[in-house]
Structure 1
């Protein structure tokens, strides 16, 4: 039976790799990469660096083109479903053509495979169609959320209080009920600017050489974050940022 690992490799620092992940990489025959284009070559470079450091000499690497998608769709859920389906077709083709029945393949997943990542859904989609059979195992990694909190030296929750992980699209619809601490991912519209009274702990390219960190009251640092984010995106061709938004408990 074919075996596939979904390996979380952390938020960008090669030292985030866990011992469990390193052992799985060492057992892998074929590494599968989804190429996101030159603008995100640094993400591919990190994966290749990890493979060189921990894999066996006989391993192979196979790349597929990650399908493009509309970043500002009118039908968000429908667009994501279509994109995941097209990604699954690319993954299925790579597995069918390059993973033999007695081999182990791996996908090196940025951050953690269980947090805002489509890899699990894609493998389930491929299995459901039945063109290829395999078993798979998920190996957790250090998420951008954990890395962000560590870099700012703050806890994600306050004593006895919950926190929520959400998206910028959801935050733009209103502050979540029942929580005062919100971790926000995938915020292309910078929804934090609507909450000037909150405290923000923001980070882009966290744990990479290009890391940028900002913190303070939103009313004081929002303009700086907006400009810094725009400048970084223009320079690198892409942006990956996350933030913790914390409002006073009495709000």
Structure 2
């Protein structure tokens, strides 16, 4: 077959209810959706399949490469960057094989928005360099947006910024003086010594397993851990995000 002529990177928010009319129109014009299959009973793959089915588009599941999670790859920053780079390269190779075989217009359905802590655009850039394809990106509702809406808060104080980071970098960012932080890619909750800070936390936002907790860190850390366990038990996976604010910061 001829090579793919176009790849569309489509933000889908936190599920079918967040698919915008713009993304829906784009999806209807695609020949198939490419999606990584991380494991058996992959809840996020099932959500993507449901969206593809709703718009009459075939989903092609591609077994996802294993990322190196050895101590050398999860400790020092250089090791982490190398492990992620190798993982992305393996993904590029796997997707390229499908594009070469199928051609046509392919879509990637990105959970949340493609601009925030997602590497689909980077992977598609590499595919474009190799195969000379064109691609575009359409936005979706991001997890920080939905978190703020669920808790009915503004992410930043009046006239002040919000710092968006990952749990991996949180301690360095706090040490550098950040006092109003939105944390993504949590993995673990490292909130020791932050008892008097305020937190607005959510897991599996926009899904049937959604959990929300807010309050003083010292008062709600236990309930957050319990809610996190419930979300994972209900869905088989957990993705959480939270806003963390120092006690001296006024909203």
Is this a same-fold pair by TM over 0.5?
yes
Where does residue 126 of structure 1 map in the other structure?
Answer: 127
8 Å CA contact retained: 2:35, 2:61: yes
Distance 2:214 2:58 in 1: 43
Where does residue 157 of structure 1 map in the other structure?
Answer: 156
Deviation at 1:209, TM superposition (A): 0.5
Please, which of 61, 86, 90 is the counterpart of residue 90 of structure 2? 86
Please, which of 10, 31, 50 is the counterpart of residue 7 of structure 1? 10
Deviations 1:10-63 (A, max 9, x none): 023x22111110100111112111111124x221222222222224xxx43321
Task: Say if 1:237 and 1:50 are closer, same or farther in 2 by CA, change over 3 A.
Answer: closer
CA RMSD of aligned residues (A): 2.0
Deviations 1:152-196 (A, max 9, x none): 111111110101100001113351645421000112231233411
Where does residue 27 of structure 2 map in the other structure?
Answer: 25
Question: What is the SS of the residue equivalent to 2:172?
Answer: coil
8 Å CA contact retained: 2:112, 2:141: yes
8 Å CA contact retained: 2:143, 2:205: yes
Where does residue 61 of structure 1 map in the other structure?
Answer: 59
Where does residue 52 of structure 2 map in the other structure?
Answer: 51
Where does residue 194 of structure 2 map in the other structure?
Answer: 195
8 Å CA contact retained: 1:166, 1:182: yes
Distance 1:22 1:178 in 2: 42
Where does residue 204 of structure 1 map in the other structure?
Answer: 203
Distance 2:217 2:144 in 1: 19
8 Å CA contact retained: 1:192, 1:245: no
Alignment of 1:162-173 (within 5 A): 162-173=161-172
Deviation at 1:2, TM superposition (A): 0.4
| TM-score for the superposition, normalised by structure 1 | 0.89
Q: Structure 2 regions of 5+ residues with no counterpart?
A: none
| TM-score for the superposition, normalised by structure 2 | 0.89
8 Å CA contact retained: 1:127, 1:134: yes
Distance 1:250 1:209 in 2: 33
Moved segments of 4+, more than 6 Å: none
8 Å CA contact retained: 2:37, 2:64: yes
